[in-house]
Amino acid sequence: MGIAENLKAIRESLPEGVLLVAVSKTKSQAEILEAYRAGQRDFGENKVQEMAGKAMSLPPDIRWHMIGHLQRNKVKYLAGFVHLVHGVDSLRLLEEINRRGAQENRIIDCLLQVHIAEEATKFGFDAAELQALISGDNLAGLAHVRIRGLMGMATFTDDQAQVRREFRSLKTLFDRLFAGNPEANILSMGMSGDYEMAVDAGSTLVRIGSSIFGTRP
């Protein structure tokens, strides 16, 4: 199947209210345009320079999602245009996004990345750190960032029950942290291999690459 057909099939399988971010890392501008022509507007990249280069030459109404690990010294390359930063994993990074957001006269939407004990990546906050960050006064002075919710990845495993458990615990944490905060309404979880389980558990945003564009090298 082609990109347009893949997109259509995935969209039809998603409940209303779940945003599909097409993960286009390593994919060409022609492939991205094919998805764009099929109506896709939200795209995810995991490398800052790659995203900035694509953003410069592709249609300006594309919403670019930074889904990878973001280094502080690279924030300046995306602060002017990024739609949502998914992988905020430290207060210092948040402070740098705030600083660059101020320079660009923007408020930059961010998700806090949750670290699950057994997952592949070492990045992210654990539940206690998130609780401390959100209930403390560290965020009060950061007028140019807006915390919109959480991003998480399940452990890379064939054990479906474990993946389901992890998604459920992310959802529980999300509800607990952001009860009464209507601004924080994004729970980014689910990829090609596990998005159905993520959606069942309460995901509001899925990040799907290979099921749309085919496998990556």
Ligand X SMILES: *Cc1c(COP(=O)(O)O)cnc(C)c1O
Residues that bind ligand X (CB under 6 A): 23, 25, 46, 67-68, 191-193, 207-211
Q: How far is the CB of 36 from ligand X (least distance, A)?
A: 18
125/5 Cα distance (integer angstroms):
37
Nearer to ligand X, 39 or 214 (CB): 214
Nearer to ligand X, 68 or 124 (CB): 68
Nearer to ligand X, 48 or 142 (CB): 48
Q: How far is the CB of 153 from ligand X (least distance, A)?
A: 6
Q: How far is the CB of 216 from ligand X (least distance, A)?
A: 7
Q: How far is the CB of 13 from ligand X (least distance, A)?
A: 14
| Structure tokens that stand for 178 in this block | 């952001």
Nearer to ligand X, 204 or 211 (CB): 211
Provide the sign of the torsion angle of the four alpha carbons 185, 189, 190, 191, taken in this order. Answer: positive
Nearest to residue 49, comparing CAs of 84, 86, 31, 75? 75
185/169 Cα distance (integer angstroms):
16
Tell me, what DSSP letter sits at residue 136? S
Q: How far is the CB of 118 from ligand X (least distance, A)?
A: 16
Burial status of residue 134 (CB atoms within 10 A of its CB: 0-12, 13-18, 19 or more): middle
Contact 111, 146 (CB under 8 A): no
Residue nearest to ligand X (CB): 209
Nearer to ligand X, 138 or 160 (CB): 160
